[in-house]
Structure 1
Amino acid sequence: MNTSRKTSPATLAGPAVSVLIPTRNRTDDLAQLIPSLTQQTVDDFEVLVLDQSDDHAAVEQLVDGVGDERIRHVPLRSIGKSRALNVGIRIARSDVLAFTDDDCVAGPHWIENALACERRDAIVFGRVAAYEHDESIEHVPTLDIDEFEETAGRRWRSVGVIGIGANMVAPAPLIKELGGFDVDLGPGGDLKAGEDFEITLRALAHGAYILRDPRLVVIHSGGRPMKDRVASAHIAEAFVGIGASLGKHARERDIRAVTAFVDELARALMLSGRAIVRRQRPTHLRRSWSLIRGFLRGARRGLSLAPDDWSIRKSSPTPPGDLRP
């Protein structure tokens, strides 16, 4: 072991941090992320690679090749990021959960900073920076955080981007109490996106806090060509997810969700109108329609959460198949 690293005290409860990585058919990206996790400034953590790939063998070979017993390959039969994360929450051996995506790279202090900023009553989001790229031809979703911010429970009033699930830290007891991630939302789910946004709304309604801490940083390489329909579709899916999240909470009779939906829709329509007046392409019209579609679908469905029984979390080994939420 590298004695220059800071080692957190071991406990019978397990490692200090459990890192959850949902992945599907992105072995090349994982090959960049996993080495960055083995080079952290602390040693007391586990990494759960929640694998929903068509070919589990490729990811298993990658994990085995790293040769680090802290990295665990968890093959899953189900599809959907939220379902994978809910499995990870069940089998994680730490009460501190750190989330990132398979197309990110973590800096060497990421887990150390996760431990420093973790709070039992809060979900913490960090910066998501873009890898070096040409912004004129490629769009990379990012989140800039320049200073520490705190949103108190029950005080959210608008949509905005609260945080991105590619860089998130949360206490396992809080996430379990909330019911885990909504399985309709997120990549692979019926509503494609918004799983990180929705769980923040649920946390705030629960009385928890949402923090944004600039010390937490990951580099995101998930770029999409600017002129490609894939990029446009991805943005539209994001607004479907936002709308669906608000619709689900409106069904729970949270008037703030309705207010936030109306505000966001009015903003998108205003921007579209301004573009039309200036004879520019009204890109926000598609976002407006996506927001409406998402809201209606979310309001019809309601919340789709994991079961209340999380009892297998610490006592069971990695499952041979899938633990369906």
Structure 2
Amino acid sequence: MRLRPRSVVDLDLDSPDGPVLSLRPAPGGPAPGPGDLYALVRLRGRPAATVLAHVREGDDPAEVLGRLAREQLPDAARTEPPPEPYALPPRACVVVATRERADQLARALDSLLDQDHPDYDVLVVDNAPRTRDTEELVTGKYGDRVRYVREDTPGLAVAHNTGLAHAGADVVAFTDDDVVADPHWLTALTAPFAADPRLGCVTGLILPARLRTPAQLLLESHGGFAKGFAPRLYDPLRPPADEPLFPFTAGSFGSGANMAFRTRALQAAGGFDPATGTGTAARGGDDLYAFVAVLSAGFRLRYTADALVWHHHRESRQDLRNQAFGYGAGLTAYLTATLVRRPTLLPALLARLPRGLAYAKNMTARRDVDGGGVPGAHGGHTHPWPRSLSRLERRGMLYGPVGYAKARLRMSRLRTPRLRMRGSR
């Protein structure tokens, strides 16, 4: 069955069986109307599930979606006790690394400046810019509301390390220039640090802002960036029984568009590996490396769906092909980086290798496009994924260690002149 475009909407219920409080489009989207809809379901503002619906001409979208949501809400959402109030979140700095995407960046910054967090600032790291567009946007439109730092060495991990060095806050949060943050995002992402001194990292929910093109639909139907709605706590002292590959299945922990670290924990873990990430030959893996590094340093990691950002997926099929290859490359690049920088983890990785290969084979397997399943339902392994993308993802896995070696060599060459220059003074 052909993947049909869907309007993305945001539905809020008073309770699992209660009335609809509000129905509105995803940020910047069209008003809900007849057609195919993808809905985030909230319970009094807190994300709880997603549902798909077809609304016929003349039907009330709120009524149709409300009925479906009440029928399909998972048992966990029905039986979960009322959430406790958030602790006062610590001071935070939001870092956005960007390169030549001023229009998208402006949309992201507008949402980041509209957060309900009581004490934070926003820092833009302009990574290897070719023009002054980003600098002029930040200094001109946003003035003293957003800080600007230029980082000339290309690479997302390098830019993130620059942001970490300039953060000056207890918690440093990272997101991308192609998201729109929910107004409660930063509070939900950072408040857990106040309640748990062993917590080193918190990740959150990423949902699609648009599902218009075949590439956007295919990516989200394959699982997208979503990690579900159930909260999870990952503790290196108590490995989860349902994840035998822990901590090497870092992709299940979260994604780089929605993550925050206790600053001292990320510093203790050595920051991001500069030879990983977009903008390097490794193609990705910078976020996955950081998750495992923080866990390996003895800190805990928490996932919460309450911290929500809406992500603008790339629109073209070529973008999707690049992403498929990059996902595979980033996975093995981060594993390579982990072993290079933390060789004591080698025995644990070798012990998990057979299961890991089977897991990778399953995750990258071709799946027929049958139109079933809820886009974004992470981990179901029933989402459409064509053979061409499966091949690209596996090819990327083979390339990842080579890409990391190339990126590491390039980084060493970039650092050498600086070191010599310092030594000559």
The reply to whether TM is greater than 0.5 is: yes
Match of 2:335 among 226, 230, 246: 246
What is the DSSP-based 3-state SS (H/G/I as helix, E as strand, rest coil) of the residue aligned with 2:400? helix
Instruction: Give the unaligned 5+ runs of structure 1.
Output: 1-7, 307-325
Rounded Cα–Cα distance in structure 1 between residues aligned with 2:314 and 2:204 = 19
> In the alignment, what sits opposite 1:91?
166
Rounded Cα–Cα distance in structure 1 between residues aligned with 2:114 and 2:282 = 36
Quickly say closer, same or farther: Cα 1:256–1:17, change in 2 above 3 A. Answer: same
Instruction: Give the unaligned 5+ runs of structure 2.
Output: 1-86, 240-245, 369-385, 413-425
Quickly say closer, same or farther: Cα 1:305–1:257, change in 2 above 3 A. Answer: farther
| Residue 269 of structure 1: how far off its partner (Å) | 3.9
Quickly say closer, same or farther: Cα 1:61–1:264, change in 2 above 3 A. Answer: same
Q: Which has the higher contact order (CA 8 A, sep 6+)?
A: 1
Kept after mapping to 2: 8 A contact 1:129/1:220: yes
Kept after mapping to 1: 8 A contact 2:174/2:257: yes
Match of 1:288 among 394, 401, 406: 394
| Residue 217 of structure 1: how far off its partner (Å) | 0.6
> In the alignment, what sits opposite 1:220?
311
Deviations 1:63-84 (A, max 9, x none): 2343452311112222111111
Kept after mapping to 1: 8 A contact 2:276/2:404: no
Tell me, yes or no, if structure 1 residue 77 matches structure 2 residue 161. Answer: no
CA RMSD after TM alignment: 3.2
Tell me, yes or no, if structure 1 residue 235 matches structure 2 residue 298. Answer: no
Match of 1:180 among 271, 278, 281: 271
Deviations 1:286-308 (A, max 9, x none): 333322332466589889999xx
| Residue 109 of structure 1: how far off its partner (Å) | 1.1
What is the DSSP-based 3-state SS (H/G/I as helix, E as strand, rest coil) of the residue aligned with 1:169? strand
Counterpart residue type for residue 246 of structure 1 = L
Kept after mapping to 1: 8 A contact 2:175/2:258: yes
Counterpart residue type for residue 284 of structure 1 = S
| Residue 183 of structure 1: how far off its partner (Å) | 0.7
Aligned counterparts, 1:1-325, within 5 A: 16-52=91-127, 54-67=129-142, 69-118=144-193, 119-120=196-197, 121-134=199-212, 136-138=214-216, 139=219, 141-153=224-236, 155=239, 156=246, 158-159=248-249, 160-225=251-316, 228-251=317-340, 252-254=343-345, 255-269=347-361, 281=387, 283-295=389-401, 298=404
Larger radius of gyration: 2
**What's the TM-score, normalizing by structure 1?**
0.78
| Residue 131 of structure 1: how far off its partner (Å) | 0.6
| Residue 249 of structure 1: how far off its partner (Å) | 2.9
**What's the TM-score, normalizing by structure 2?**
0.61
Quickly say closer, same or farther: Cα 1:264–1:51, change in 2 above 3 A. Answer: same
| Residue 237 of structure 1: how far off its partner (Å) | 1.3
Kept after mapping to 2: 8 A contact 1:122/1:208: yes
Question: 4+ residue stretches of structure 1 with deviation over 6 A?
Answer: 271-276, 299-306
Deviations 1:97-145 (A, max 9, x none): 1110111111111222233122543211100111121363423542233
Counterpart residue type for residue 33 of structure 1 = A
Rounded Cα–Cα distance in structure 1 between residues aligned with 2:367 and 2:310 = 32
Kept after mapping to 2: 8 A contact 1:153/1:203: no
Rounded Cα–Cα distance in structure 2 between residues aligned with 1:272 and 1:19 = 33
Rounded Cα–Cα distance in structure 2 between residues aligned with 1:259 and 1:224 = 40
What is the DSSP-based 3-state SS (H/G/I as helix, E as strand, rest coil) of the residue aligned with 1:182? coil
Stretch moving more, 104-113 or 94-103:
104-113
